[in-house]
Amino acid sequence: MFKTTIAGSLPKPGWLAETGKLWPRWMQEGEALARAKLDATLLWIKLQEEAGLDVIADGEQARQHFVHGFLEQVEGIDFDHKVEMGIRNDRYKAMVPQVVAPLRLKGRVHAAEAQFLRAHTDRRTKFTLPGPMTIVDTVADRFYGDRVKMAFAFAELLNEEALALQADGIDVIQFDEPAFNVYLDEAATWGVEALERAAQGLTCTTAVHICYGYGIQANIDWKNTLGEEWRQYEKVFPALAAISIKQVSLECIHSRVPADLMALLAGKDVMVGVIDVASDTIETPEEVADTIGRALQFVPQRHLIACTNCGLAPMSREVAQGKLEALVKGAALAAERVR
């Protein structure tokens, strides 16, 4: 009854990249790296199937980081001279590449892993791309001099790749916009407009993922400053309800997001986060089912999809596997409860 999927990323095996890191170094080069990326993708396709997930993702095994993986195929970006920049409103510092010229795609970005994903599962497939606002917040601008202009330039490139992913046979294309929870007014205006531009012309299922970030210390510290109720979604959800994006992925379990905010997404499929990515403790099916039960007060049954709060990338493989199993078992239990 309740479909299951993940927000996007999964841990990379030690033979592919450094483990336990958000920006890991690759352990291979050239042809061997290309092969290892697809081998790791196959491993996770099968582990997701084995866990019983309905919509299968590539686990972002072929990209070093969810934003920079896309940027590597964009002309006009200087990767050789990275600079330190405070990102997500200075929540943490990162070494980021610089935009130095007009942006253009060098070619396909994710053809290899998307076609590989499509070829190796019969289930529905999902592919993630960074959203325009989040990209703009994860790169240094030395050319456009205007965040909105640069966001729309990226949105056009994202749209080009998204249409190609759809032609590859991908069923769900999701844009990741954690920046929507940081720049609340801008998200509700040009952020959502740039997102709509990125999704223009897509006829497959479209989605947006908005979270409070990976379970890294800087994010945990930030969450501790947000008070008793996290109302960040309140501004952007009504703006999202008005555009064509079909699914919205949000954090729920162990967050202080008031569940009633989900009611602002009337008409959308809601991917409810029922798996915590900031803790290695594996949820019980009961806990997952309870979280789904809470969401059902504000989301109609047919619109509820069980999902993770965010990506599982920095975790150990064992923990991630345990969490995928808990997700599926909990969704089945929740379905039993409402029958």
Q: Could you tell me which stretch among 67-75, 263-271, 299-307, 309-317 binds Zn ion (CB under 5 A)?
A: 309-317
Q: Would you say 330 and 292 are in contact if contact means Cβ atoms under 8 Å apart?
A: yes
Q: Is 252 in the site for Zn ion (CB under 5 A)?
A: no
* Contact flag: residue 312 with Zn ion (CB under 5 A): no
Minimum distance from CB of 268 to Zn ion (Å)?
A: 17
User: Which segments of 200-276 are extended strands (E)?
Assistant: 205-209, 247-250, 269-275
310 binds Zn ion (CB under 5 A): yes
Q: Which is nearer to Zn ion, 273 or 322 (CB)?
A: 273
Coil vs helix vs strand at 146? coil
Token pair of 249 as six digits: 């992925």
CB nearer Zn ion, residue 62 or residue 310: 310
96 contacts: CB under 8 Å, gap ≥ 6:
82, 83, 84, 85, 87, 138, 139, 140
**Count of positions on this chain that bind Zn ion (CB under 5 A):** 2
Closest to Zn ion by CB, 111 or 218: 218
Radius of gyration of the CA atoms of the chain, in A:
19
* Helix, coil or strand: residue 38: helix
Rounded (10°) CA dihedral 288, 289, 293, 298: 50
| Closest separation in Å from C-beta 301 to Zn ion | 25
Q: How far is the CB of 219 from Zn ion (least distance, A)?
A: 10
Q: Which is nearer to Zn ion, 139 or 310 (CB)?
A: 310
Nearest distance in Å: CB 283, Zn ion: 17
Q: Identify the residue among 211, 313, 327, 332 touching Zn ion (CB under 5 A).
A: 211
- Interface residues with Zn ion (CB under 5 A) are 211, 310
